[in-house]
Amino acid sequence: IMGLSGSGKSTLLRCLNGLINATAGKIIIDGQELTGMSSRQLEELRRKKMGMVFQRFALLPHRTVLGNVGYGLEVQGIARDKRDQQALQAIEMVGLKGWEDSYPANLSGGMQQRVGIARALATDPDILLMDEPFSALDPLIRQEMQDELLEIQNKLQKTIVFITHDLDEALKIGERIALMKDGKIVQMGQPEDILLSPATEYVARFVENVNYSRALTASSVMVKARNVVHPKDGPMTALHIMEKFGMSSL
């Protein structure tokens, strides 16, 4: 989900987990409409089906890495031994094995965000909501985190809703992009759709300076061959077809 500051990106994310009530439309998860759920049902949904990764990490400073990653499992009432086992698996998945007993103050920004991702993954949610999770990181660390997220997604195949204001980041990690303005989605589609067929002038201006090589492949701009000559047809057949259709090559 993309858009300028104030376009409604984070508000939309909070509508998806029921923290903010949507003013129109429906939000349906696993066949259930969110707006019809009770407070208890919403709480259960957030605990078991959704994980959240924040821009500012939101780690508990008095807890170790293991304690932070296992927090969601603790809230669910999971026994200590099983909780630690699942937390350790998530820690290893994000590349922090050996840092289990460290505190957030002893970690770099990139490492702290890895803890945030591990915490979201530890409960094995179906949906990950990520609110500009890499925007506070240095460029090199940011690229590493993007690559790691893609690797994790390749293994786990979660539904991930990722907020960003960086179009290059969206093109790199997004399978579909929704572009927002003034609280509305003005265009949604695959990255190449956004680049090649902008729906509005706003979208066109948004993508005008983008590096197209991040999203487009040869297949995006290929056209089907109008005429084909096989070796067995011979040069005279090829020349005849070229003259007939006004072509310079086949």
Non-local (6+) Cβ contacts of 57 within 8 A are: 104, 109, 112, 113, 115, 116, 136
Q: How far apart are CA 164 and CA 133, in angstroms?
A: 8
- Can you give the pLDDT at residue 129? 92
Q: Which residue type occupies 64?
A: T
Instruction: State the 10-residue block means of pLDDT for the chain, 250 residues long.
Output: 90 90 88 86 87 83 93 89 92 90 90 90 90 85 88 90 90 92 93 89 88 67 72 82 79
SS3 content of the chain, % helix, strand, coil (to 5): 50, 10, 40
pLDDT at 199: 93
Give me the pLDDT at residue 109, please: 84
Sign of CA dihedral 40, 30, 51, 155: positive
Characterize 152-177 residue by residue with b for buried, 16 or more Cβ atoms within 10 angstroms of its Cβ, and e for exposed. Answer: bbeeeeeebbbbbeebebbbbbbeeb
Distances in Å between the Cα of 20 and the Cα atoms of 15, 16, 27, 86, 129 are 5, 8, 12, 30, 14
State the maximum Cα–Cα separation within the chain, in Å, rounded to a whole number. 82
The Cα–Cα gap between 69 and 119 comes to 4
End-to-end CA distance of the chain: 43
Domains of the chain: 2-165 (3.40.50.300), 220-250 (no CATH)
| pLDDT at site 31 | 87
186, containing H or E segment: strand 184-189
